[in-house]
Amino acid sequence: MSSPTIFDGMRIPDLSLPDISGRRVNLSTFAHNRPLLVIFSANHCPYVKHLEQALGMFAEDVGTESLKILAISPNDTAAYPADDEAGLSAQAERANWNFPYLIDTEQAAARAFDAVCTPDFFLFNADGELVYRGAFDNSSPVNDEPNDGSLMREAVEALLSSEPIPPARKAAMGCSIKWKTS
């Protein structure tokens, strides 16, 4: 499954979700007037597992002062228990993620963002406007492309240096979001 790369006027939704430690995070105020990268993620998904270490290194390289990052797990944990709080905590520790990992129990964030897969990436400028939606890099679990975050780095570097953001050359690809059935 792949996400669209075309967007029109999307802004950071005003939602509050708990993170894996139980602390509530408001999406619209979290970045404090800084750019924000939102990643829809899942512990069970092989596409996320493929890039989780590179994503941890990317977050460390970019730093949390210039770019705020958070991940959101939108999946139905009754159907996919690996995506429960314990599984997400283990993933964050294993991948050395130094950013909040939120739990979208009611799937409100996934709907508000129109997220379709994990991973799915949304990069917002300091004004809360979506400026990039696309792939992290050209790698996947089924190819030999470098797992280096090159496409996201290019977009973030352009954003932080006030240059035009290159259009997404590749849609994010991954596991479909596991929607609740009732």
Q: 3-53, pLDDT tens digit by residue?
A: 655 566 789 999 999 999 999 999 989 988 899 999 999 999 999 999 999
In a domain, 95, yes or no: yes
Residue 72 is predicted with a pLDDT of 99
In tens, the pLDDT along 103-126 reads 999 999 999 999 999 999 999 999
Residue 84 is predicted with a pLDDT of 97
91: CATH: 3.40.30.10
In a domain, 27, yes or no: no
In a domain, 25, yes or no: no
Whether residue 168 has pLDDT greater than 80: no
What is the number of domains present in the chain?
1
Residue 155 is predicted with a pLDDT of 95
Instruction: Give the contacts of 77 (CB within 8 A, at least 6 positions apart).
Output: 83, 84, 105
In a domain, 7, yes or no: no
What residue numbers bound the domain in which 106 lies? 42-176
Q: pTM for this structure? A: 0.94
In tens, the pLDDT along 53-90 reads 999 999 999 987 789 999 999 999 999 999 999 999 99
Count of positions (residues) in the chain: 182
In a domain, 78, yes or no: yes
Whether residue 2 has pLDDT greater than 60: no
In a domain, 100, yes or no: yes
In a domain, 126, yes or no: yes
pLDDT category of residue 169 using cuts at 50, 70 and 90: confident
In a domain, 13, yes or no: no
